[in-house]
Structure 1
Amino acid sequence: MRLKEKVCLITNAGDYMGPATVKEFQREGAILYVHGKDGGKVREMLERFEVDLSAISLLEADIGSPDGAQKIAEKVSGEKGRIDVLVNVNSHPPGGSLVHETEEAFWRSMFHRLVDELFFMCKAVLPFMIEARRGKIVNFTSSAGVRGMPKYATYSAARFAANGFTQALGREVARYNIQVNAIAQNYVENPQYYPDELIANPEILAKIQQKIPLGRLAKGWESARLAVFLASEESDFLCGEVIRFTGGGD
């Protein structure tokens, strides 16, 4: 087991890549703390993914505030004495629109969800990792933060910010034996961007697959297995990397 006895904290575990990642981390023997703003919804989603809920600890908090992020970081460290791995799962509906038609509130909501939460969680967890002189941070981002998407400038800008933050932070904390990396993905089945009801439509699925050189969507577990690698000792020489996971597409 690649994560046996590793204390792992996964944010927003009921959304985006959360369920698949929780399942794969559990399979690899991790000691799991999973976060969600609404515990009931998190449990419901994890049950759909056949996660053993009896073997995880669920933390409810609003990590869109520094206090909320600090609360769960201190909870995990207080109970286990350390935090070995932080997985940031941040998502927001991309809501395509032209820049000159975009509301300021939408812009700020996007950055709050995709960038602020990421910053607050890393800031809260890093002191514990620095003291231990080891740690792993894995950020699920998007390939839209590598190559911008027309009509999705707000979403792309926030994802670029998250990827840039990952690169800078990775170099900043490398001297403490902490590795920070991101998975910049697209075309991966998940409850937020490619839910079951969407890909169940043959016409929509065919249009999506035409954009992917590999000709298919990735299963959630495929991306989650990359997260396992980045959380394990096998990735000790990777730091500040933004890894595209797109099947060859944008």
Structure 2
Amino acid sequence: MIDLSGQRILVTQAKDFMGPALCHELKACGAEVIADERLLTHPLDAQTVIEAAGPLDALVINLALPAPSTPITQIDEAEWRQVFEVMVDPLPRLVRAVVPGMKARGGGKIVVMGSASALRGMKRAATYSAARGAQLAYVQAAGVELAPDNIQLNAVAQNFVDNPTYFPPEVQANPRFQERLKREVPLGRLVKAEEDARFVAYLCSNAASCFVGQVFPMSGGWAVR
């Protein structure tokens, strides 16, 4: 069992995407979990959430919205702006808000829940993939910058992981989706939510202090075929 006893960890957008599984696993590992459920679209939201949370040992940035499936010639300004407003704009704001406190405490962990759609092309996913790609590029650059302060910033790039936002029960029960799993995912099934969350718990632990700006695919082999 990963030991997070005594650690205070904030999980953003805790009702969506990987939020429920993350909160459950982090608590099971002994952490005190602060679960914030709001969308952080206002420029001041991130600072408000970090200040309300108090001292933090780790921050899990979980940002998501239902992915558009618009052909590239039909993507309009409103779609592009909304996806970036929800999934990209809060990221640097959250990091900017949490870093001073982590520095003062001697270090910390930041984990971004990203997507493997930024690692492998997908049809009708240009807006979503671009936003997720921006997240991963930010993590790589900012992770290098924060490493000397003993703050490890990394990302999990996932796809085909069981979660209510992208793979709700009705999708999983669809025979066409089951065939797609067999065809596209070497593992042959969805990665379990607890498997993903347990890896995040590890990245939040003292045992994971050597990873700097890294992007870890979590996709049952889909991203590395």
Q: Deviations over 1:187-239 (max 9, x none)?
A: 01100001122112334222233210111111111110110011001110001
Equivalent position SS for 2:188: coil
Equivalent position SS for 2:88: helix
Which residue matches 2:49?
72
Where structure 1 has 5 or more consecutive residues not aligned to the other structure, the ranges are: 38-61
* Range that drifts further, 12-21 or 193-202: 193-202
Pairwise CA distance, 1:122: 1.3
Q: Which residue, 168, 175, 178 being the options, matches 2:148?
A: 175
Pairwise CA distance, 1:67: 1.7
Q: Partners in 2 of 1:221 and 1:192 — Cα distance?
A: 15
Q: Partners in 2 of 1:147 and 1:242 — Cα distance?
A: 13
Equivalent position SS for 1:87: strand
Q: Which residue, 57, 60, 81 being the options, matches 1:87?
A: 60
Q: Deviations over 1:132-153 (max 9, x none)?
A: 2210000000001122323211
Q: Does 1:214 align with 2:187?
A: yes
Equivalent position SS for 1:66: coil
**What is the TM-score with the length of structure 1 in the denominator?**
0.85
Counterpart AA for 1:168: A
Q: Aligned-residue CA RMSD in angstroms?
A: 1.2
Which residue matches 1:100?
73
**What is the TM-score with the length of structure 2 in the denominator?**
0.95
Q: Deviations over 1:79-121 (max 9, x none)?
A: xxx2100001111222112222111100011111110122221
Counterpart AA for 2:148: R
Pairwise CA distance, 1:66: 3.0
Q: Partners in 1 of 2:128 and 2:49 — Cα distance?
A: 27
Which residue matches 1:33?
34
8 A Cα contact 1:209 1:217, kept in partner: no
Equivalent position SS for 1:179: strand
Change (3 A) 1:142 1:203: same
8 A Cα contact 2:3 2:205, kept in partner: yes
Which residue matches 1:151?
124
Q: Partners in 2 of 1:120 and 1:64 — Cα distance?
A: 10
* Range that drifts further, 115-124 or 19-28: 115-124
Counterpart AA for 1:5: G
Q: Partners in 2 of 1:209 and 1:113 — Cα distance?
A: 32
Q: Partners in 2 of 1:202 and 1:98 — Cα distance?
A: 24
- In the TM superposition, 1:107-186 aligns within 5 A as 107-186=80-159
Counterpart AA for 1:188: V
Q: Partners in 2 of 1:147 and 1:172 — Cα distance?
A: 26
Which residue matches 1:193?
166
8 A Cα contact 1:136 1:231, kept in partner: yes
Q: Partners in 2 of 1:155 and 1:143 — Cα distance?
A: 11
8 A Cα contact 1:166 1:240, kept in partner: yes
Q: Partners in 2 of 1:66 and 1:130 — Cα distance?
A: 23
8 A Cα contact 2:40 2:86, kept in partner: no
Counterpart AA for 1:63: L
Where structure 2 has 5 or more consecutive residues not aligned to the other structure, the ranges are: none
Q: Does 1:202 align with 2:152?
A: no
Structure with the greater relative contact order (CA < 8 A, sep ≥ 6): 1 or 2?
A: 2
* Range that drifts further, 134-143 or 200-209: 200-209
Which residue matches 2:11?
10
